Chain A
Amino acid sequence: MMDLYLEVVTPEEILFEGFVGMVEVPGASGRFTVLRDHAPIISTLIAGRIRVIGKDGVERFFNCRQGVVECRENQMTVLMDNPRLTPSEAGDL
């Protein structure tokens, strides 16, 4: 049985790659959660926080300004802009 494999990639670096249990992303038409065997989906992302629970049980957060997510056959890719936020932006989240 395949677990969900996630990659979080920005133009500057690969922020995260590995097997995960759950990913929650700020989709353009609302936040949604992706679990294993999710239907194929492509969605643009808006500003918000990406929440990832890895297979190791560790919870991670990534700040997203805009981006896109694709999930197919348990391969999930999050592409987003540079996550460095100005303090005021970080305060809003």
Chain B
Amino acid sequence: MANLKDIRTRINSVKTTRQVTSAMKMVSAARLKKAQDDISHIRPFTSRLASIIQDLTSAIDEKIPVSYTVSGKGKLTLVLAIASNRGLCGGFNINVVKEVQSLLSGKLRDEYRKGNVLVGVMGKQIEKLFKSRDIKADFIYHELLFSASYESISGLANELMLEFKEGNLKEVILVYNEFVNAAVQAVQVQQYLPFAVPKSDTADELLDYILEPDPVSIIDSLIPKMLQTMLYQVVLESLASEHGARMTSMHKATDNASDLIRDLQLSYNKARQTAITNQIVEITGGAEALKGG
């Protein structure tokens, strides 16, 4: 049986842990709120932009080439995995890694063996996980997560578009956690480049649009804009998922710590009671012995 002092020390240390986890939960909840707001702001923009592109592509002559929609001339495929710089968020990071692994051993297997698949990593935690699985991270974008601004993310998007246009990249695939709600994240594999033009299901009502200044320059300005916004939204989704995942896992950790404290408190009380009983037994035993003498 553990002695009283040992149990007391353990209770105190678990209490400290609980304080830390519950503080982290609070912080994540606050950050989640902000990240959710950011997403709710970008979503209308992305959906409106997508519908304009859809209207535009259905309205123009099919012979007009839409930039970034056909496979690049290069032979390299970039898999960009987006997760977190920090841990303690449940399966958030490992799920992305698993998905990339199954991509590399499934769909992209042959290309990967030939060395035609590059892996881009956004998140220090998944870089470590990739390393332990012998997957080499070819590009590192950790710093973009610290201050995910529209400007910095568009910078990366422009870089990818340039590589694609110059014929170095064949396609770009994003792997990230989509934000469903605070407790649920869904790992998504999304083709980023070449850009898949949203298909309209209302093809019958074709309108004769006035296009200013001309179709080509509208496309040239809209598609890059769309790609920038898409990447930005993906990063925001991932950030919100991260905070959601961390909040949930810290909530569970706090609950577990509370359970542990309750159990420890019970055994502490039992031990204390045993000690007191023992002492009383000793005293009465001593008194009896004295009386007898």
Contact = CB atoms under 8 A, between A and B. Distances in A.
A43 B214 CA distance: 8
Interface stretch (B2-10, B20-28, B39-47, B86-94): B39-47
Interface in B79-117: none
Interface of B: 41-42, 44-45, 48-49, 52, 55-56, 59, 150, 207-213, 217-218, 221-222, 225, 229, 232
Contacts, number: 73
A42 interface: yes
A71 B22 CA distance: 50
Nearest to A17: B44
Contact of A72 (B207, B213, B221): B207
The SS class assigned to the B binding surface is helix
The SS class assigned to the A binding surface is strand
A75 B59 CA distance: 17
A13 to B, nearest CB: 5
Given A42-B52, A43-B210, A79-B49, 11 more contacts: A11-B150, A14-B44, A29-B213, A39-B208, A40-B209, A41-B209, A41-B212, A42-B209, A42-B211, A43-B213, A66-B221
B209 A9 contact: no
B128 to A, nearest CB: 32
Contacts of A77: 48, 52
Interface string A57-93: 0000000001010101100010100100000000000
Contacts of B41: 11-14
B222 A68 contact: yes
B239 to A, nearest CB: 15
A40 B210 contact: yes
Contact of A28 (B55, B56, B210, B213): B213
A7 interface: yes
A28 B222 CA distance: 13
B210 A39 contact: yes
